Amino acid sequence: MKAEEFSKGHQSMNDTRVVQFSRPMLGPEEAQAAYDAVMSGWVTQGPRVAEFEREFAGATTATHACAVSNCTTALHLALRAVGVGEGDEVITVSYTFLATANAIRYLGAWPVFVDIERGTRNMDPALVEAAITSRTKAILCVHQFGMPCDLAAILAVANRHGLPVIEDAACAAGSEIQIDGQWEPIGKPQGVAACFSFHPRKVLTAGDGGIITSNDAEFDAKVRRWRQHAMSVSDLTRNNSSQVIIETFDEVGYNYRMTDIQAAVARRQLVRLPAIIKARREWAARYVELLSDLPGLEFPVEPSWARSNWQTYNVLLQPGIDRDAVMQSMLEAGVQTRRPTFCCHLEKAHNQRPLRFPLPVSEDVYRRNLGLPLFPHMSVGDQDQVIAALRNSLR
């Protein structure tokens, strides 16, 4: 199925003369699934969550999958499970959504930011080793915009120093990486765990939600327990038991549960995933084809060992161009754009400590990066409108 065929049957944003930056791919199937969950009478974490966990684990070939309320809580639980605590350090990137750094701070630890590669927008593995100290407790890498980071190189450093690796895979459902000559889905953890988001801007959405995949039964048991106030038995197990069960609470936990309504929607989304990825890759290729003649425009680099889901399509504008003025011009032409993400160290929430290392690439990419609309059911007319608006704004 071609990308333009995939868009048939869905309202084009040209109907309102505005091309949105992102639109979730939702239809009657998701609405029916949510309706069925509501009418079942079980709407919080329950049988549909358990079914979604099994299906997502199967899709990513992970041994375990634990559904949670969002990806930020997933990161929080994963970091706690590998022992990150007060006064520790976690090596990560500044060029990412604030949730990556926030989750580290929740535990009383501090992010140590290293720079990124310009082409992939991901952690530069060559800079990781120099950031390791006696306080380093983990490495938190990010598959930015769905582009797989260089896990093989990052894991080589981590393994030399006995450090766990957590993958922030918020954007990366459906992305793939080549490991030892074999293509593997992001979510089959190469480190300890991978954490995903189901926010409406992501490739799969349940309105919100998250999931943690792992191949470690002990790790999975911890995060599964903590997501529900560290209760000794789940609501579902207690409800289905023929014996009275008196639950206990032996440690502090959290209310980080996914609801069965969300899981019902997410299960339908998972069925759509192959078609969604195929369409996104076709729209991304068409951007390159139709914009490659623009001087100074830099496209994201997909390494030979990576297959992106193109959760966000972003380009670097030529140095000296006012990115915000371009965004305003395109908005006036009926096209929504976005700063693709942030530099955490430039925000007040995370600038209380001086940087340990300079971040020239992160800062340059942040200033020049422009996110263009991309969603699977966009039309040729939608994308042509985006391309025309960008060309006009750069004249």
Strands 165-168 and 193-197: parallel
Per-residue pLDDT reduced to its tens digit, 195-240: 999 999 999 999 999 999 999 999 999 999 999 999 988 877 777 7
Which of 267, 265, 261, 263 minimizes the C-alpha distance to 38?
261
Predicted local confidence at residue 16, as pLDDT: 52
Give percent of the chain with pLDDT exceeding 70.
96
- pLDDT exceeds cutoff 70 at 378: yes
Per-residue pLDDT reduced to its tens digit, 116-136: 999 999 999 999 999 999 999
CATH of 28-394, one of 3.10.129.10, 3.30.70.20, 3.40.640.10, 3.40.50.2300: 3.40.640.10
- pLDDT exceeds cutoff 60 at 332: yes
Instruction: Please pick, among 2, 202, 278, 348, the residue that the annotation labels catalytic.
Output: 202
Predicted local confidence at residue 212, as pLDDT: 98
Q: Where are the domains of the chain?
A: 28-394
Amino acid identity at 182: Q
- Mean pLDDT, all residues of the chain: 95
Decide if 202 is catalytic.
yes
Per-residue pLDDT reduced to its tens digit, 43-61: 999 999 999 999 999 999 9
Predicted local confidence at residue 6, as pLDDT: 47
Per-residue pLDDT reduced to its tens digit, 275-320: 999 999 999 999 999 999 999 899 999 999 999 999 999 999 999 9
- pLDDT exceeds cutoff 90 at 245: no
Per-residue pLDDT reduced to its tens digit, 154-206: 999 999 999 999 999 999 999 999 999 999 999 999 999 999 999 999 999 99
**Cβ atoms of residues 180 and 377 within 8 Å:** no
DSSP assignment of 260-295 equals: HHHHHHHHHHHHHHHHHHHHHHHHHHHHHHHHTTST
